[in-house]
Amino acid sequence: MKRIVEETEISGLEALLGEQVLLMCANYFYAGKLVGVNTSCVELSDAAIVYETGPWTEKGYKDSQKLSAKKWYVATAAIESYGVGK
């Protein structure tokens, strides 16, 4: 079967725009919808700080608390690893 394949050069955080992500940073973990990316920071909507993930096999986090701002910004220099959230 032939398929149309679209190649893109988008990778890293840009490839996760619009996804629920978990950002593991130097001091805290943040979860939320990734809505913006630039060279100095990322923007999360519906953001939460994750104090305890709990078992990685569980659907949610054991202790996460919503942040009060509509938009939350995290410095890219503080991000150690990231991925699509639970």
Q: Hey, is 76 helix, strand or coil?
A: helix
Q: What is the pLDDT of residue 79?
A: 97
Strand ranges, E, within the chain: 20-25, 29-37, 41-52, 63-66, 71-75, 79-84
CB crowding 28-42: b at 16 or more within 10 Å, else e: ebbbbbbbebeeebb
pLDDT in tens, 32-76: 999 999 999 999 999 999 999 999 999 899 999 999 999 999 999
- Domains of the chain by range and CATH? 16-84 (2.30.30.100)
Q: What is the pLDDT of residue 52?
A: 96
